[in-house]
Amino acid sequence: MAEASVMPVFRAPGSSEPVIQLTAARKTYKTGSIEFEALRGIDLDINAGEYVAVVGPSGSGKSTVMNILGCLDTLTSGSYLLAGENVEDLDEIDLADVRNKRIGFVFQQFHLLPSLSAWRNVELPMVYAGVHRDERRRRAVAALERVGLGDRIDNKPGQLSGGQQQRVAVARALVTEPTMILADEPTGNLDSQSTEDVLALLDELHESGRTIVLITHETDVAQRSRRIVHVRDGQVTSDEPNTPTHLMGGHAA
């Protein structure tokens, strides 16, 4: 199969150095004698404060991009600079510190512990960071209030709707005040109203200055972002700015 042509790297107007910089990024998975190239030489720059959706069908490589950006996996070749720092130079302790303090994760499956209350689920990243218990509770409650769940802090996940559980997951992602949020199919298990609630939260986070990277296969969800990167067969096939319809009064351009 012929490789797609190289796409120009998009940069937001007035932007400075990228906070995320993938260069010639390749990732190959091996199972016995079988090799699968999930990423095939991707170049991708994302600047601080951008809201970017990475879109593609199943098997396109978008989840591999998320794992690389979140320091959950490493490249086979190429480079990944995070805020100018080469991720390949970091040891496992440093990588864990990056994941815990600088990146907030929101996943499709919520990943909440069913035996813990909402605030105790939210405090977990701070436990790993060594924050004092009283401060953990204060910040966890404040994060839950921020996502509209101040009256549900003692509820366990089984006592919450799917949309409420995802808001707990967003609060957990926020509680360490990360500069970047990685959201992997965050609305995949939600009804339309809960989807809107979660996307509205991401809008607020973007407006507060955080960098948002949204991984999705849903075009309407991607339309909430300010830039859309399409990925197929492990390559970037398009990379364009986007004006969300809700910022145009709900009417398409």
Q: Find out whether 169 and 107 touch, Cβ atoms under 8 Å.
A: yes
Task: Note the pLDDT tens digit of each residue in 101-130.
Answer: 889 999 888 899 999 999 999 999 898 888
CATH code assigned at 235: 3.40.50.300
Domain coverage including residue 198 = 50-63+93-245
CA distance 23 to 238: 16
| Count of domains forming the chain | 1
Task: Tell whether 56 is covered by a domain.
Answer: yes
Percent of the chain whose pLDDT exceeds 90: 62
User: Which residues are CB-neighbours of 212 under 8 A, at least 6 positions away?
Assistant: 50, 51, 52, 180, 181, 183, 202, 205, 206, 225
What pLDDT does residue 150 have? 93
Instruction: Answer whether residue 144 is part of any domain.
Output: yes
Could you tell me if residue 72 is inside a domain? no
Is the residue at 88 inside a domain?
no
Give 3-state DSSP helix, strand, coil % of the chain, rounded to 5.
Answer: 35, 25, 40
Closest CA relative to residue 38, chosen from 67, 10, 9: 67
Q: What is the pLDDT of residue 3?
A: 40
Please indicate, yes or no, if residue 229 is contained in any of the structural domains.
yes
- Residue 122 included in any domain: yes
Model confidence pLDDT, tens digit, residues 126-147: 988 888 999 999 999 999 998 9
* Within a domain: 16: no
Work out the average pLDDT over 53-76: 93
Mean of per-residue pLDDT scores for the chain = 87
Q: What is the pTM of this model?
A: 0.85
